[in-house]
Chain A
Amino acid sequence: MLINGVKIDDTFAEAFNMRGTRVIITAQNLKWAYHAANAMTGFATSVIGCGVEAGIERELNIDETPDGRPGLSILMFAMGSKVLMQQLETRMGQCILTCPTAAAFAGIESDDRINLGKNLRFFGDGYQTSKLFSNANGVTKRYWRIPVMDGEFLCEETTGMVRAIGGGNFLILATSQVAALAAAEAAIEAMKLIPNVIMPFPGGVVRSGSKVGSKYITMFASTNDAFCPTLKGVTNTELSPEIESVMEIVIDGLNFEDIAESMRVGIQAICDLGAASGVKRISAGNYGGKLGPHHFKLYEIMGKQAS
């Protein structure tokens, strides 16, 4: 398939089941909401080494937040509920509780609940107080007010946890590193507008895509040599001679449809740059379809844009 001169491979991205949650962070202004959110989603690029994959989903207006202050929504994903609970609690305690004026609220409703402020309240050393507020639908929620040095830290007791999907991806193959990165940036800008997804790596982009296994027995993942341009002559390469750089964009999301849509708009943004920009191919990472139950087929996703 060719779109505006960019070749789309007949392949698919292979993704996995995860557990996800959303947290709303508010603060006195957006600047401090970003400080809190950036700290909370820092070192959360891959479950391989970080436990969770997390990112800022979008900015929230004052009429979208529970306390009427500027805020951000954060999505956080992990391979299991236990890890997600543990990581959320740790990050809440070290990144949100500590951040001036920040408050935290549930961003998703589900029967599965995980702790937000339920245990953090003990930081209040007996001076913490809880309040139950109900909305017009009769839904009652508990909030904790924990006295801290800047005033009070306000935090909802729990947030919802839902089934999610992690590992949607596509690869950008370009004739230069500059071209690959420019295309990745264009894709990320477009993908940020899609709800329910995050791109957890730095700037949303990964340069170190991995394959399963290694020649070293202690390593369960190692560099994806088939896509490393400097190894073209020594490995079973996937790259044609003119490709000098490959970038990957990984997507985690709350559902299949939004991940597919984010891939579509991202790839389309790259294709809109045209082959003249240096981008020659779009591919995707998979493990032969044997490991992940969710397959994002590039032809199906980009079908309507084919030329």
Chain B
Amino acid sequence: MNALTFTLKEPLKFSLNCQLLNPTHLADKSSSDIANMLLNYGNSQCRIDEIFEISGDDAQNILFKNSCDKLDYLGANMASGKMVIEGDAGAYLAYNLKKGEIHCKGNTLAYAACNMVNGLLTINGNTGDFLGGASAGLRKGMRGGTVIIKGNAGDRAGDQMRRGLILIEGNAGDYCASRMIAGTIGVLGKVGEYACFNMKRGTLLLTTRPKLHATIHDCGCHTLPFLNLMFKSFAQFKTKFSNIETQRAQRFVGDAACSGNGEILLILPAE
């Protein structure tokens, strides 16, 4: 069986809601069923085969070719299978992802991994604001799973994140880990201002010291054996984070402005 492949015929003018194009929803559907399905395109609807060339038949392995940032909600509500996006993706990539793997080889817009529950999302390029955040009206963002960003992330990465793991190999914007409830975010590059703003709990793992606001308190340098355990657990994801071997970290706790008990662990060289 070949991967079910959607090749974008020509550049899109408006946003296309692709939430129906996931392994869970397309399972047991024939090629003609898939071709006839309607997607929301701008303020109208259009058939899938008007936008994509469709080939392959393995709905558990979906491939998008020539994709662009007009493709919103790719992998939304996905509960099984694997999706590869050869190109960019729009907003809400892996929205409410429950299980399975999504690999985007390009960049994405905002709200990647929004409300994500479980599974693995890998983005080779950059991603926009509110990575792992909550959709409008919700008080909890990402609730589980793993997100790996090889490039940079925008502002408010991990906003209201409740559980799970986000590893950013590049830089993160302002308000990283804002309103974070629990979970772990790692940033190998730099983070912008107001990191951990209104953070309740959770861990922000950094390698360079950011400019911190007054309500994040320095708790000194420590040897923390759990770091060894954590870096070992990263090994399965093939990320630069698994190369870290130190157990030394400088610990900052906050945000005291909301009686938060979250932490920034600034990774220090091994003794």
Partner-B contacts on A (CB < 8 A): 26, 66-69, 103, 126-127, 129, 131-136, 143, 145, 151-152, 154
B222 touches A129 (CB 8 A): no
Contacts of A68 in B (CB 8 A): 228, 232
Closest to A145 in B: B226
B201 in complex: contacting residue of A129, A143, A154, CB < 8 Å: A129
A-B pairs, top 4 by smallest CB distance, nearest first, are A133-B233, A136-B236, A67-B225, A68-B228
A112 to B222, CA, bound (A): 35
B226 to chain A, nearest CB (A): 5
- Encode B203-224 as 1/0 by CB contact (under 8 A) with A: 1000000000000000000111
B207 to chain A, nearest CB (A): 19
Contacts of B229 in A (CB 8 A): 66-67, 131, 133, 143, 154
B203 touches A131 (CB 8 A): yes
Contacts of B230 in A (CB 8 A): 131, 133
B163 touches A132 (CB 8 A): yes
- Encode B232-248 as 1/0 by CB contact (under 8 A) with A: 11011000000000000
A252 to B8, CA, bound (A): 66
Contacts of B203 in A (CB 8 A): 129, 131
Q: A69-B225, A129-B201 are in contact. List 16 more A-B contacts (CB 8 A).
A: A67-B225, A67-B226, A67-B228, A103-B225, A131-B230, A133-B229, A133-B230, A133-B232, A133-B233, A135-B236, A136-B235, A145-B226, A151-B222, A151-B223, A151-B224, A154-B225
A130 to B31, CA, bound (A): 47
B59 to chain A, nearest CB (A): 22
A68 to B235, CA, bound (A): 14
A178 to chain B, nearest CB (A): 45
B261 in complex: contacting residue of A69, A126, A133, A154, CB < 8 Å: A126
B271 to chain A, nearest CB (A): 12
B261 touches A152 (CB 8 A): no
Contacts of A66 in B (CB 8 A): 229, 232
B233 touches A134 (CB 8 A): yes
User: CB of B122 within 8 A of chain A?
Assistant: no
User: CB of B263 within 8 A of chain A?
Assistant: yes
A152 to B233, CA, bound (A): 19
Contacts of A135 in B (CB 8 A): 233, 236
Contacts of B233 in A (CB 8 A): 133-135
A33 to chain B, nearest CB (A): 12
B226 in complex: contacting residue of A126, A127, A136, A143, CB < 8 Å: A143
Contact A129:B225 (CB < 8 A) given known A134-B233, A136-B236: no
Residue contacts A-B, CB under 8 angstroms, 5 given: A67-B228, A131-B203, A131-B229, A134-B236, A136-B235
- Interface of chain B residues 140 through 159 with chain A (CB within 8 A): none
B73 to chain A, nearest CB (A): 26
User: CB of B80 within 8 A of chain A?
Assistant: no
Contacts of A154 in B (CB 8 A): 225-226, 229
A157 to chain B, nearest CB (A): 13
Contacts of B228 in A (CB 8 A): 67-69
- Encode B177-209 as 1/0 by CB contact (under 8 A) with A: 000000010000000000000000101000000
